[in-house]
Structure 1
């Protein structure tokens, strides 16, 4: 079998890990990763060790779905204890850096009163020296600006944190990624290589182009046992869908959540790729349905359900460029998506509002994105306007209609959309749910709850459509697909507020003869 030409089996999944937690932007980019490790994950692990039964029971309580509880059986508590010890020993630089950030923030709160900031530099913790700039905004509010490119070259960014686990899709929901680390298991293959390792690109290219087990073993540096495990994940036959390409016109396919695949015979685009590997389910498009080469991957923003490392990693070697919105350069909650993905081995281009990128058979224009980030100063977010095969498509993601005039400006600049794809998670989680590790000053629950990760409600979505003048409107599923639970952890019923708002919006569209729908699992448009 060592020389036989083989393909990666369709149902193989990968979970990229950092210190055993599933990789997502807040665990990869150096500044939030340090704070997430120190102020969330380490404390969570220590809480679990104090009372494992409480964590396990809470993890299985449907009413607490998406809560910060560790779903690991009590009889594996010693492994969690070993993980805590390893983090404290091996990540001391990161933990100290996080503490230094908190100390620096307090220094500014106490001493930055509108006067010269120069005397504060010597008072900063040593760990921040040369890595931050102190600056006021025009209201005399001081902040630290991080020299993020330098941090990727420092001890704060440690590639030996990174590894991957390969296993088979079982259809059983995996534990919530923000809270439960992935421990070793006999039924998974652990490979201790950084995400940018070329061997991983070689492995995932075998979904479309075969290679030998011997080649993969050498490329990944596997031992005998690992090679044996990998052999079970390979097949002599590909599982690629015969209709993954088109010969004429244009096509859009909905792959679930916020993921669209837009194609012409000349080129293809994927938005926010979050794609199932379960090709036997029969009710969805999967990795098997992707075109062999993807010209552009469009990332709308940096939340864990839009930058999905387990899907992105499997596209290494078959993507031309990943397009990301430009960040604010060094702002604490707004890490550079370009730096983050570039350091994982991807070719990345940053765009600002109304920047244009051409691809074979079409053009993409970045457009503004409003709201959804709990009123934090996060600028790495973009919607997109895609022109292909004579159609114009507005990819709205979770952008809100809080200022409808914005979409009038988009229409004036780019014309009328044929299709608009919108997000309507209009009662999202509170600020603390996602950003708690970055908040270094106590915040009241009432304040946090007033600032949410929310897209448009019915009125705001209707305002977007009124201003865009689009002829068709489609609402993304809000984590409703069953293969997204380990990331989304959402639960809806027909009486849930968000669902009622979508129904109200669809009624509004029907009353105006606008073709509309609430997307779920898969759908296709052809012209």
Structure 2
């Protein structure tokens, strides 16, 4: 076969965007957060590798089984050491930034209510001009980071960004546990995420493309082209073959489920995609959803609710960048390590039209209005501003996407109902109400670990049955769709496990559905290949 022949990137090819060899997510994109997370990651892995060696020494001549060891072979341990060494320069830079931020933390203890001007001379040089010292209204000292300055100063090292491609014969590793190391059965691309060659690559997922064009776009020479070629399939036609059949009458509304919190909404001829995290491979299996090839060539608007990796997913965003018109994100202060700006972050991925939305701000998109709503819960009670739920409304239809919101303050939904002067036709609500303790995600960026007793009570949790029932009643919702439950096996690499019907969250969801079935309100659990159609 010649390179001029038309090919498509295979549906079952997985993509891992990497930063210093680690799976990319929000806290590795934001320079300030990354300085803490990367330092923590390296320390954990070095400790794990040391324990592996200690256990091996203890096993010599013993009757212990190999299953007593962590799932790391000797060769893998050696390769992980090599990966850490390969990225040591970036790790040193991250450590320098982290230490500088900690030094500013240390200055706070010296502030006693007097003027802060003298303290600026003690701010580390690498942060001067990027830090503002302040008192809050309780007279407590603190500081703001001007996050965009950190990006512009080069603390986001684009040379550390790579992309790994591999087929189904390679086991997909847990996203955050270990760095990726060299393997013979994967294909690594050493280009920053903003490189235009990725758009050519991911467009070929659905649009037949000459293989030589893909190689040229990615700077792949002839020798490496032979390694890349098995990840593509031959195709006989140059036509774009996207099997998306959401071509509907202008007044129709269709909501197609793409897994987790990803809903493709077609409303009055416009397309909206919420929290895109979409598996590379779509099948007809019971728990499989629609896949990347089932999306339209152009998506008018992407709407992202918050920066957790199952909602702001770097992997899927990069796959879709060339298809997306505009991205809407909640307005965030972007002034603290634990609350990075989603706008700046997504712009750093090469998106050009990213707009922030304030709570209760209406964005007029022709005959559809987008409104950002307050988002309570899911963040362990931390001061996180970059989070929002959304409402899409037309003259005669309203749909709310509540993501992982927890109904902590029911009066919020009274306010929304009063503002709407009527009910909501469709509400998407997350009910993963068990949630992980706050330390699970945020420990690296906190000044100290939350005590276990408190951490387990401050969980990253959404609404339970009673909370979901209450908000649905207050919004006078005609129909409720439960989503973001973690059912899809293809997403377990990032969530950490596949949810089952026995989980408490799913028991609560079933209770909620049963309650709705005894009333005029309908409830549906989004799972598999599902879509909802409204006239």
Whether these two folds match at TM > 0.5 is: yes
CA distance in 2, matches of 1:504, 1:247: 35
Does structure 1 conserve the Cα–Cα contact (< 8 Å) formed by 2:373 and 2:388? yes
Cα distance per residue 1:324-348 (max 9 Å; x no partner): 1111131221101111110111131
SS in 2 for 1:91: helix
Q: 1:495 to 1:386 in 2, by over 3 A?
A: same
Cα distance per residue 1:217-275 (max 9 Å; x no partner): 22111122332233223332589453433232221111111110101472211101111
Report which stretch shifted further, 40-49 or 259-268. 259-268
- What residue is the counterpart of 1:62 in the other structure? none
CA distance in 2, matches of 1:89, 1:141: 36
- What residue is the counterpart of 1:373 in the other structure? 379
CA distance in 2, matches of 1:142, 1:224: 59
SS in 2 for 1:408: helix
Give 1:86 shift: 3.0
Give the unaligned 5+ runs of structure 2: 57-68
- What residue is the counterpart of 1:259 in the other structure? 262
Cα distance per residue 1:147-175 (max 9 Å; x no partner): 111111124210011000112245x8622
CA distance in 2, matches of 1:225, 1:301: 42
Give the unaligned 5+ runs of structure 1: 57-68
Q: 1:280 to 1:339 in 2, by over 3 A?
A: same
Q: 1:35 to 1:428 in 2, by over 3 A?
A: same
- What residue is the counterpart of 1:123 in the other structure? 122
- What residue is the counterpart of 2:186 in the other structure? 188
Give 1:512 shift: 2.2
- What residue is the counterpart of 1:174 in the other structure? 172
CA distance in 1, matches of 2:515, 2:339: 36
Please show how residues 226-241 of structure 1 align to structure 2 within 5 Å.
226-234=224-232, 235-237=234-236, 240-241=241-242
Give 1:309 shift: 1.3
CA distance in 2, matches of 1:230, 1:88: 28
- What residue is the counterpart of 2:492 in the other structure? 485
CA distance in 1, matches of 2:284, 2:55: 31
CA distance in 1, matches of 2:42, 2:317: 27
2:525 aligned with 1:518: yes
Give 1:438 shift: 0.5
- What residue is the counterpart of 1:114 in the other structure? 113
CA distance in 1, matches of 2:381, 2:55: 31
SS in 1 for 2:359: coil
SS in 1 for 2:296: coil
2:332 aligned with 1:327: yes
CA distance in 1, matches of 2:499, 2:369: 37
Q: 1:123 to 1:254 in 2, by over 3 A?
A: same
Does structure 1 conserve the Cα–Cα contact (< 8 Å) formed by 2:485 and 2:499? no
Does structure 2 conserve the Cα–Cα contact (< 8 Å) formed by 1:336 and 1:380? yes
Does structure 1 conserve the Cα–Cα contact (< 8 Å) formed by 2:289 and 2:527? no
CA distance in 1, matches of 2:318, 2:364: 24
- What residue is the counterpart of 1:66 in the other structure? none
2:18 aligned with 1:17: yes
Does structure 2 conserve the Cα–Cα contact (< 8 Å) formed by 1:21 and 1:180? yes
SS in 2 for 1:174: coil
- What residue is the counterpart of 2:348 in the other structure? 343
- What residue is the counterpart of 1:59 in the other structure? none
2:257 aligned with 1:246: no
Does structure 2 conserve the Cα–Cα contact (< 8 Å) formed by 1:10 and 1:239? no
Q: 1:178 to 1:71 in 2, by over 3 A?
A: farther
Give 1:16 shift: 0.4
- What residue is the counterpart of 2:66 in the other structure? none
Report which stretch shifted further, 514-523 or 235-244. 235-244
Report which stretch shifted further, 356-365 or 458-467. 356-365
CA distance in 2, matches of 1:469, 1:12: 43
Query: Aligned to 1:403, which of 396, 400, 409?
Result: 409
CA distance in 2, matches of 1:389, 1:419: 15
- What residue is the counterpart of 1:353 in the other structure? 359
Report which stretch shifted further, 160-169 or 360-369. 360-369
Computing the radius of gyration from Cα coordinates, the structure with the larger value is 2
Question: With structure 2 as the length reference, what TM-score do the two structures score?
Answer: 0.90
Query: Aligned to 2:293, which of 284, 288, 293?
Result: 288
Q: 1:129 to 1:384 in 2, by over 3 A?
A: same
SS in 2 for 1:263: strand
Aligned residues: 512
